Every structure is written in structure tokens, then in C-alpha cells.
Amino acid sequence: MREELEAVGHFAPFFMHSFGEGAQPMLIHGQVVCDLATVVEIAERMIVALDALDPKGAAAR
């Protein structure tokens, strides 16, 4: 089983900024994923805080 797992390889996330212009795939650094998670969490907390300021809440949208 170990040999089969090693034959599969490992996961390496890549992204492309463009599929034209001769762009090359770039490896996504783990810190980018963590930074994105932080931005999402901040945005979610801001939405909750802004909804708390609106007496009608999010349902009015």
C-alpha cells in the first residue's frame, strides 16, 4: 500500500493569472491561503457589525 501511495505523488496547488499572454503556473504558498482565510474572517465580522448598526438588519436587503 505504501508503494501505491508514493506512486500517487503529493498535492501542490498552482494558479494561473491568465490563460493567455504566455502565463506560467505559479505555486500557491501556504501563507497566501492563511492570509485569505484572515481576510474572509474580517469581512464576515464586519458584515455582522454593520448589520448590528442597521435596525432593520440584513433582512431589509
Confidence of residue 46 (pLDDT cuts 50, 70, 90): very high
CA-to-CA distance for 25 and 48, rounded, in angstroms? 37
53 is written with which cell numbers? 448598526
Q: Express each pLDDT in 7-42 by its tens digit.
A: 888 888 898 888 888 889 999 998 998 999 999 999
pLDDT at res. 42: 98
pLDDT at res. 12: 85
Query: Whole-prediction pTM value?
Result: 0.55
